[in-house]
Protein backbone atom coordinates (compact mmCIF):
# COMPACT_ATOMS: atom_id res chain seq x y z
CA UNK A 1 0.00 0.00 0.00
CA UNK A 2 1.59 3.38 -1.04
CA UNK A 3 2.36 5.89 1.67
CA UNK A 4 0.32 9.09 1.89
CA UNK A 5 3.30 11.08 0.60
CA UNK A 6 3.51 9.12 -2.63
CA UNK A 7 -0.15 8.71 -3.24
CA UNK A 8 -1.20 10.48 -6.46
CA UNK A 9 -3.80 13.13 -6.07
CA UNK A 10 -6.61 13.05 -8.57
CA UNK A 11 -6.20 15.81 -11.14
CA UNK A 12 -8.95 18.31 -11.40
CA UNK A 13 -10.69 18.32 -14.69
CA UNK A 14 -10.58 21.64 -16.53
CA UNK A 15 -13.92 22.49 -17.98
CA UNK A 16 -14.21 23.63 -21.57
CA UNK A 17 -15.38 26.99 -20.33
CA UNK A 18 -12.24 27.46 -18.18
CA UNK A 19 -10.02 26.27 -21.02
CA UNK A 20 -11.54 28.77 -23.43
CA UNK A 21 -11.21 31.57 -20.88
CA UNK A 22 -7.51 30.86 -20.34
CA UNK A 23 -6.61 30.99 -24.04
CA UNK A 24 -8.82 33.65 -25.63
CA UNK A 25 -6.56 36.57 -24.70
CA UNK A 26 -3.55 35.26 -26.60
CA UNK A 27 -4.87 35.62 -30.16
CA UNK A 28 -6.62 38.86 -29.16
CA UNK A 29 -3.35 40.34 -27.87
CA UNK A 30 -1.51 39.28 -31.01
CA UNK A 31 -4.25 40.79 -33.13
CA UNK A 32 -4.11 44.12 -31.28
CA UNK A 33 -0.32 44.17 -31.52
CA UNK A 34 -0.44 43.37 -35.24
CA UNK A 35 -3.01 46.11 -35.85
CA UNK A 36 -0.87 48.61 -33.95
CA UNK A 37 2.24 47.71 -35.96
CA UNK A 38 0.24 47.95 -39.21
CA UNK A 39 -1.01 51.45 -38.27
CA UNK A 40 2.53 52.57 -37.52
CA UNK A 41 3.76 51.16 -40.83
CA UNK A 42 1.00 52.92 -42.77
CA UNK A 43 1.69 56.21 -40.98
CA UNK A 44 5.41 55.88 -41.62
CA UNK A 45 5.07 55.28 -45.35
CA UNK A 46 2.21 57.73 -45.87
CA UNK A 47 3.52 60.81 -47.64
CA UNK A 48 3.60 63.65 -45.17
CA UNK A 49 2.20 61.53 -42.35
CA UNK A 50 2.97 62.12 -38.68
CA UNK A 51 5.95 59.76 -38.92
CA UNK A 52 7.19 61.14 -42.22
CA UNK A 53 9.87 63.13 -40.40
CA UNK A 54 11.64 59.80 -39.80
CA UNK A 55 12.32 59.46 -43.52
CA UNK A 56 12.81 63.04 -44.64
CA UNK A 57 15.63 63.38 -47.14
CA UNK A 58 16.99 66.89 -46.84
CA UNK A 59 19.09 67.77 -49.85
CA UNK A 60 22.61 69.04 -49.22
CA UNK A 61 22.95 72.76 -48.70
CA UNK A 62 25.66 72.93 -51.35
CA UNK A 63 26.21 71.39 -54.77
CA UNK A 64 29.68 70.21 -53.85
CA UNK A 65 30.96 67.64 -51.40
CA UNK A 66 32.72 70.35 -49.42
CA UNK A 67 30.99 71.20 -46.17
CA UNK A 68 33.64 73.56 -44.89
CA UNK A 69 32.60 75.45 -41.78
CA UNK A 70 33.76 79.06 -41.91
CA UNK A 71 32.98 82.47 -40.51
CA UNK A 72 31.96 84.89 -43.25
CA UNK A 73 33.61 88.30 -43.01
CA UNK A 74 32.01 91.66 -43.65
CA UNK A 75 28.62 91.07 -41.99
CA UNK A 76 27.84 93.06 -38.87
CA UNK A 77 24.56 91.34 -37.95
CA UNK A 78 24.81 87.71 -36.83
CA UNK A 79 22.27 85.26 -35.45
CA UNK A 80 21.32 81.64 -34.89
CA UNK A 81 18.34 79.37 -35.44
CA UNK A 82 17.18 76.77 -32.93
CA UNK A 83 14.59 74.09 -32.22
CA UNK A 84 13.96 71.37 -29.64
CA UNK A 85 17.48 70.11 -30.34
CA UNK A 86 18.72 73.01 -28.23
CA UNK A 87 16.88 72.46 -24.97
CA UNK A 88 18.85 74.69 -22.64
CA UNK A 89 20.28 78.03 -23.75
CA UNK A 90 22.13 80.59 -21.69
CA UNK A 91 20.82 83.61 -23.55
CA UNK A 92 23.00 86.06 -21.62
CA UNK A 93 26.15 84.29 -22.86
CA UNK A 94 24.74 84.00 -26.38
CA UNK A 95 23.98 87.72 -26.59
CA UNK A 96 27.47 88.56 -25.29
CA UNK A 97 28.89 86.92 -28.45
CA UNK A 98 27.36 89.59 -30.70
CA UNK A 99 24.28 87.52 -31.56
CA UNK A 100 21.53 89.92 -32.62
CA UNK A 101 18.67 87.67 -33.77
CA UNK A 102 17.29 84.16 -33.53
CA UNK A 103 14.80 82.11 -35.50
CA UNK A 104 12.92 79.49 -33.46
CA UNK A 105 11.08 76.43 -34.73
CA UNK A 106 7.39 76.66 -33.86
CA UNK A 107 5.54 74.03 -35.88
CA UNK A 108 5.76 71.25 -38.46
CA UNK A 109 3.06 69.78 -40.68
CA UNK A 110 -0.56 70.06 -39.57
CA UNK A 111 -0.31 68.97 -35.92
CA UNK A 112 3.26 69.07 -34.61
CA UNK A 113 4.29 71.95 -32.36
CA UNK A 114 7.83 72.27 -31.02
CA UNK A 115 7.74 71.58 -27.30
CA UNK A 116 10.47 74.13 -26.48
CA UNK A 117 9.15 76.94 -28.64
CA UNK A 118 7.31 78.84 -25.90
CA UNK A 119 10.35 78.81 -23.61
CA UNK A 120 12.77 79.96 -26.30
CA UNK A 121 10.29 82.56 -27.56
CA UNK A 122 9.95 84.15 -24.11
CA UNK A 123 13.65 84.01 -23.26
CA UNK A 124 14.77 85.56 -26.56
CA UNK A 125 12.54 88.58 -25.98
CA UNK A 126 13.57 88.83 -22.34
CA UNK A 127 17.21 89.15 -23.42
CA UNK A 128 16.44 91.67 -26.18
CA UNK A 129 17.23 89.50 -29.19
CA UNK A 130 15.16 89.99 -32.30
CA UNK A 131 13.13 86.81 -32.64
CA UNK A 132 11.33 85.05 -35.47
CA UNK A 133 9.34 81.81 -35.73
CA UNK A 134 9.48 79.19 -38.47
CA UNK A 135 7.32 76.36 -39.75
CA UNK A 136 8.76 73.17 -41.27
CA UNK A 137 6.68 72.54 -44.38
CA UNK A 138 5.53 69.06 -45.44
CA UNK A 139 4.45 69.30 -49.10
CA UNK A 140 2.27 66.18 -48.91
CA UNK A 141 0.16 67.60 -46.08
CA UNK A 142 -2.67 70.11 -46.45
CA UNK A 143 -1.07 73.57 -46.73
CA UNK A 144 -4.08 75.41 -45.33
CA UNK A 145 -4.08 73.25 -42.19
CA UNK A 146 -0.33 73.76 -41.87
CA UNK A 147 -0.80 77.52 -41.95
CA UNK A 148 -3.49 77.25 -39.26
CA UNK A 149 -1.15 75.14 -37.14
CA UNK A 150 1.46 77.89 -37.31
CA UNK A 151 -0.97 80.76 -36.73
CA UNK A 152 -2.51 79.00 -33.74
CA UNK A 153 0.92 78.60 -32.15
CA UNK A 154 2.65 81.87 -33.04
CA UNK A 155 1.38 85.27 -31.96
CA UNK A 156 3.70 87.95 -33.29
CA UNK A 157 4.31 91.09 -31.28
CA UNK A 158 5.65 94.45 -32.41
CA UNK A 159 9.34 94.17 -33.24
CA UNK A 160 9.29 90.46 -34.11
CA UNK A 161 10.86 89.23 -37.34
CA UNK A 162 8.60 88.03 -40.18
CA UNK A 163 7.28 84.45 -40.11
CA UNK A 164 9.43 81.88 -41.92
CA UNK A 165 8.44 78.91 -44.08
CA UNK A 166 11.13 76.20 -44.08
CA UNK A 167 10.90 74.34 -47.41
CA UNK A 168 13.54 71.63 -47.89
CA UNK A 169 11.79 68.28 -48.46
CA UNK A 170 9.55 67.08 -51.30
CA UNK A 171 7.61 64.21 -49.71
CA UNK A 172 7.61 62.83 -53.27
CA UNK A 173 5.41 65.68 -54.51
CA UNK A 174 5.86 67.35 -57.89
CA UNK A 175 7.36 70.82 -58.20
CA UNK A 176 3.94 72.19 -59.13
CA UNK A 177 2.34 70.67 -56.03
CA UNK A 178 5.14 71.93 -53.80
CA UNK A 179 4.92 75.47 -55.14
CA UNK A 180 1.12 75.55 -54.91
CA UNK A 181 1.22 74.50 -51.25
CA UNK A 182 3.98 76.96 -50.47
CA UNK A 183 2.02 79.80 -52.07
CA UNK A 184 -1.13 78.95 -50.12
CA UNK A 185 0.76 78.92 -46.80
CA UNK A 186 2.47 82.22 -47.62
CA UNK A 187 -0.80 83.87 -48.62
CA UNK A 188 -2.62 82.84 -45.43
CA UNK A 189 0.17 83.96 -43.12
CA UNK A 190 0.70 87.24 -44.99
CA UNK A 191 -3.01 87.98 -44.79
CA UNK A 192 -2.93 87.45 -41.02
CA UNK A 193 0.02 89.77 -40.34
CA UNK A 194 0.10 92.00 -43.44
CA UNK A 195 3.79 91.09 -43.64
CA UNK A 196 5.57 89.04 -46.29
CA UNK A 197 6.95 85.81 -44.82
CA UNK A 198 10.54 84.70 -45.37
CA UNK A 199 11.30 81.54 -47.35
CA UNK A 200 14.05 79.34 -45.93
CA UNK A 201 15.59 76.64 -48.09
CA UNK A 202 18.98 75.23 -48.98
CA UNK A 203 21.05 75.92 -52.08
CA UNK A 204 20.35 72.62 -53.86
CA UNK A 205 16.62 72.60 -53.10
CA UNK A 206 16.23 76.18 -54.25
CA UNK A 207 17.99 75.60 -57.56
CA UNK A 208 16.04 72.39 -58.23
CA UNK A 209 12.52 73.29 -57.12
CA UNK A 210 12.04 77.00 -56.40
CA UNK A 211 14.33 79.06 -58.64
CA UNK A 212 12.39 81.61 -60.66
CA UNK A 213 9.42 81.53 -58.30
CA UNK A 214 8.59 83.52 -55.13
CA UNK A 215 11.06 86.25 -56.09
CA UNK A 216 9.01 88.82 -54.15
CA UNK A 217 9.70 87.08 -50.85
CA UNK A 218 12.79 87.52 -48.66
CA UNK A 219 15.12 84.54 -49.09
CA UNK A 220 16.99 82.83 -46.27
CA UNK A 221 19.45 80.41 -47.83
CA UNK A 222 21.44 77.56 -46.30
CA UNK A 223 24.71 77.29 -48.18
CA UNK A 224 27.93 75.96 -46.68
CA UNK A 225 30.54 76.37 -49.41
CA UNK A 226 32.35 79.72 -49.30
CA UNK A 227 33.67 79.35 -52.86
CA UNK A 228 30.21 79.60 -54.41
CA UNK A 229 28.37 82.80 -55.22
CA UNK A 230 25.48 83.68 -52.94
CA UNK A 231 23.47 85.36 -55.65
CA UNK A 232 21.06 82.62 -56.63
CA UNK A 233 19.26 82.93 -59.94
CA UNK A 234 19.84 86.71 -59.77
CA UNK A 235 17.99 86.91 -56.44
CA UNK A 236 19.79 88.43 -53.50
CA UNK A 237 19.54 86.55 -50.22
CA UNK A 238 18.53 88.32 -47.02
CA UNK A 239 19.72 85.75 -44.48
CA UNK A 240 22.52 83.25 -45.01
CA UNK A 241 22.89 80.12 -42.88
CA UNK A 242 26.60 79.59 -43.42
CA UNK A 243 27.14 76.55 -41.15
CA UNK A 244 25.26 73.84 -39.32
CA UNK A 245 28.29 73.08 -37.15
CA UNK A 246 28.62 76.35 -35.31
CA UNK A 247 29.55 76.59 -31.65
CA UNK A 248 28.58 79.22 -29.09
CA UNK A 249 29.14 79.53 -25.39
CA UNK A 250 25.85 78.91 -23.64
CA UNK A 251 24.60 76.31 -26.13
CA UNK A 252 25.58 72.64 -26.05
CA UNK A 253 26.69 70.96 -29.28
CA UNK A 254 26.60 72.18 -32.86
CA UNK A 255 24.04 74.64 -34.11
CA UNK A 256 23.11 76.72 -37.16
CA UNK A 257 24.70 80.16 -37.46
CA UNK A 258 23.54 82.93 -39.76
CA UNK A 259 24.32 86.40 -41.02
CA UNK A 260 21.96 89.14 -42.18
CA UNK A 261 22.73 90.92 -45.43
CA UNK A 262 22.33 94.46 -44.14
CA UNK A 263 22.60 96.73 -41.13
CA UNK A 264 20.75 96.57 -37.82
CA UNK A 265 18.57 99.42 -39.07
CA UNK A 266 17.66 97.33 -42.12
CA UNK A 267 16.79 94.40 -39.87
CA UNK A 268 14.60 96.55 -37.62
CA UNK A 269 12.80 97.82 -40.71
CA UNK A 270 11.83 94.23 -41.60
CA UNK A 271 10.11 93.63 -38.29
CA UNK A 272 6.39 93.36 -37.62
CA UNK A 273 4.45 96.47 -36.74
CA UNK A 274 0.75 95.89 -36.02
CA UNK A 275 -1.61 98.27 -37.80
CA UNK A 276 -3.26 99.30 -34.53
CA UNK A 277 -0.07 100.81 -33.11
Active site residues: 81, 168
- Candidates 264, 246, 265, 266; CA nearest to 256 is 246
Question: 96 to each of 91, 100, 129, 246, 276, how far by Cα in Å?
Answer: 8, 10, 11, 16, 34
Alpha-carbon gap, residue 56 to 227, rounded angstroms: 28
Alpha-carbon gap, residue 42 to 56, rounded angstroms: 16
- Candidates 68, 41, 59; CA nearest to 207 is 59
Alpha-carbon gap, residue 34 to 247, rounded angstroms: 45
Cα of 47 vs its chain's centroid, Å: 16
State the first-to-last Cα distance of the chain, in angstroms, to the nearest integer: 106
Task: Give the 3-state secondary structure of residue 118.
Answer: helix
* Mutual angle of helices 143-153 and 175-193, in 10-degree steps: 30
Helices (H) and strands (E) in the chain, counts: 8, 11
Task: Give the 3-state secondary structure of residue 136.
Answer: strand
Phi, psi of 105 (to 5 degrees): -70, 130
Amino acid sequence: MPSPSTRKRPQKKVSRKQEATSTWWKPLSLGILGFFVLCLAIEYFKEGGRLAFLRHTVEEATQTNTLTAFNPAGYEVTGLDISHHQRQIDWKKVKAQNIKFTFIKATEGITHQDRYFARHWRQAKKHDLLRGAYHFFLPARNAEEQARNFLNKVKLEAGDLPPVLDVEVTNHQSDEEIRAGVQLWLDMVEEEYDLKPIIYTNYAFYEKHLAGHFDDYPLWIAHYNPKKSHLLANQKWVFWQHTERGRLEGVKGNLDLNVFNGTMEDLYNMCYEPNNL
